Amino acid sequence: MLVLTRKPGETIAIGKDIRISIFEIDGRSVRVGIEAPKSVSIYRGEIYQKVQEQNRQAARQGLNADMKLIASKLSKNMSGSAENPPFIQNGNKKEQFDEQ
Amino acid sequence: MISVEVETEKMVFSPVLGETSYQEDEVVLFPEGLIGFENNRRFIIKTKDGFKPFHWLLCLDEPGLLFPVIDPFLIMKDYRPRPSGNELQSIGIENSHDARFLAVVTVGQTVDQVSVNLRGPIVINTSRNLGKQIILMESQYLVKHPIKAGRHNN
């Protein structure tokens, strides 16, 4: 890993297509600007890691979990009215709007 | 003399699904793989009775690698994934009408703790058989959105 120390106003160039600009430091946060081709995806590191971990877990568990049992339980819940499948309301609860 | 090209049926052996046949035109190419699985590029999506509404995203490069997935709109009717910028250009999607979404499913400690990744959906260009997993900027959607299979809604 390359470690650099930069001041606000300074930049970092990665290859020919990516530029990182250090804007300001505010308390314990630093504001960073990133210029990159639109084809390059940029994520906060922790969310990338969370998704990666969820993929790994899914791949592992898909092999061991009884997906048929889960599917039959899920199908039962979904056989209610097509307009209001029972568990969909959970998706709209306020507490699920927190940044994870 | 007329020559006819017949689509040959191919087979792959995978855990859970066993011997699985597929046609080449079913293969979905993920140029960037999946998040954390960037070297896994060729997948097929299999739906088998008994597993519905789940589908299986099976990697042809590594048949032991398969992901249970589900249509996220079955879980959240008003799910509104909004890919940012030109994220989907790399798989040739101009607007979300060309897109099919799938969410990766994980199971917790018990069968009741099933969750789906609504924050990082898989997007498929069905007309070109290209796929990509994206991470939505909206933080309202969870990586582990519980679907509470098996419990009656309260």
Give the β-pairing of B66-70 and B99-107: antiparallel
- Cβ separation of B114 and A61 shorter than 8 Å? no
Contacts of A71 in chain B (CB under 8 A): 50-54
Whether the per-residue pLDDT at A31 is higher than 90: the answer is yes
- Cβ separation of A70 and B111 shorter than 8 Å? yes
Contact between residue A68 and residue B51 where contact means Cβ atoms under 8 Å apart: yes
Q: Nearest by CB to A56, which of B36, B74, B75?
A: B36
Q: Name the more confident of A85 and B127.
A: B127
Contacts of A98 in chain B (CB under 8 A): 139
Contacts of B13 in chain A (CB under 8 A): none
Q: Name the more confident of B42 and A83.
A: B42
Any residues with CB less than 8 A from the CB of A72 and at least 6 apart, and which? Answer: none
Whether the per-residue pLDDT at B19 is higher than 80: the answer is yes
**Average pLDDT of every residue of chain A:** 79
**Collapsing DSSP states into helix, strand and coil, what is residue A76?**
helix
Mean pLDDT computed over B72-78: 93
Mean pLDDT computed over A77-84: 49
Whether the per-residue pLDDT at B16 is higher than 70: the answer is yes
Instruction: State the pLDDT at residue A9.
Output: 96
Q: Name the more confident of A91 and B152.
A: B152
Instruction: State the pLDDT at residue A100.
Output: 36
Chain B's closest residue to A93, CA to CA, is B140
Instruction: State the pLDDT at residue A90.
Output: 32
Instruction: State the pLDDT at residue B123.
Output: 95
Using alpha carbons only, give the angle B79, B82, B88 rounded to the nearest 5 degrees.
125
Instruction: State the pLDDT at residue B118.
Output: 96
Whether the per-residue pLDDT at A91 is higher than 70: the answer is no
Instruction: State the pLDDT at residue B153.
Output: 43
**Taking the domains of chain B in order of start, what are their residue ranges?**
9-146
Chain B's closest residue to A78, CA to CA, is B74
Q: Which of A68, A52, A69, A70 is nearest to A60 (CA)?
A: A52
ipTM of predicted complex: 0.88
Selecting from 2.30.290.10, 3.30.70.100, 3.40.710.10, 2.60.40.1260, what CATH number does the domain B9-146 have?
Answer: 2.30.290.10
Gap between the Cα atoms of B64 and B77, Å rounded: 32
Whether the per-residue pLDDT at A85 is higher than 80: the answer is no
Listed ranges A12-16, A71-75, B10-14; the one with the highest mean pLDDT: A12-16
**Average pLDDT of every residue of chain B:** 88
pTM here is 0.81
In terms of C-beta distances under 8 Å and separation of at least 24 residues, what long-range contacts does A85-89 make, across chains too? A85/B74, A85/B77, A86/B152, A86/B153, A87/B75, A87/B147, A87/B148, A87/B149, A87/B151, A87/B153, A88/B75, A88/B76, A88/B77, A89/B153
- Cβ separation of B148 and A90 shorter than 8 Å? yes
Instruction: State the pLDDT at residue B96.
Output: 65
pLDDT band at A51 (very low <50, low <70, confident <90, very high): very high
Contacts of B67 in chain A (CB under 8 A): 55, 58-59, 62
Give the up-direction half-sphere exposure of residue A26: CA atoms within 13 A in the CB hemisphere: 4
Give the up-direction half-sphere exposure of residue B118: CA atoms within 13 A in the CB hemisphere: 28
Q: Which of A56, A51, A47, A32 is nearest to A99 (CA)?
A: A47
